[in-house]
Each structure stands twice: as C-alpha cells, then as structure tokens.
Amino acid sequence: VYSLDGLLVFGLLLVCTCAYLRKVPRLRTWLLSERRGIWGVCHKASVIGTRLHVAVSVSCLLMAFYVLVGK
C-alpha cells in the first residue's frame, strides 16, 4: 500500500470482495447492513462494485496484466 500501484490493487480488491459478499444473502444482512464506520466503507464499496461491475472487472483485468507483465 506504500505506492500508487499497491493502493490501486488494494482498492480494486476491496471493491471486488465487498461486491461478492453483497451477493451472499446471509453475509449481506450480517456484514453490509451497517452504513457507518468501517462497515459503511464496505457497504459503499459493495454498491460501487455492483453498479459499476463492468468498469471494475475491466480495471481488475488491466491491473492484473500490469502487475504480471509491466512490473
């Protein structure tokens, strides 16, 4: 997380993980029902991941290509 690359990877992984957890019904009510604090950040990341799923998936593919080939 000490570089811009690491920060982008962390953000993409957070959005993808929270969007995945939003699809699981029990975890959605347990983890993502709170909208304040750290769970609020997870809730907002899950909303971003589900609404912009095409852009997030393309970003994940581009970041994976960059990390594997570019570095």
Provide the angle, in degrees to the nearest 10, between the axes of the packed helices 4-23 and 53-65.
140
In 1-71, DSSP assigns E strands to: none
Domain count, the chain: 1
Q: Please give the residue range of the domain that contains residue 29.
A: 2-70
Region of 2 please: left (phi>0), alpha (psi -120 to 50) or beta.
alpha
Q: What is the pLDDT of residues 9-29, one digit of tens each?
A: 899 999 998 888 888 887 777
In this prediction, residue 12 carries a pLDDT of: 93
Matching residue, tokens 């899950």: 46
Q: What is the pLDDT of residues 29-57, one digit of tens each?
A: 777 677 787 888 888 888 899 899 999 99
pTM metric for this prediction: 0.80
- The arithmetic mean of pLDDT across residues 49-71, rounded, is 90
Provide the angle, in degrees to the nearest 10, between the axes of the packed helices 4-23 and 37-51.
80
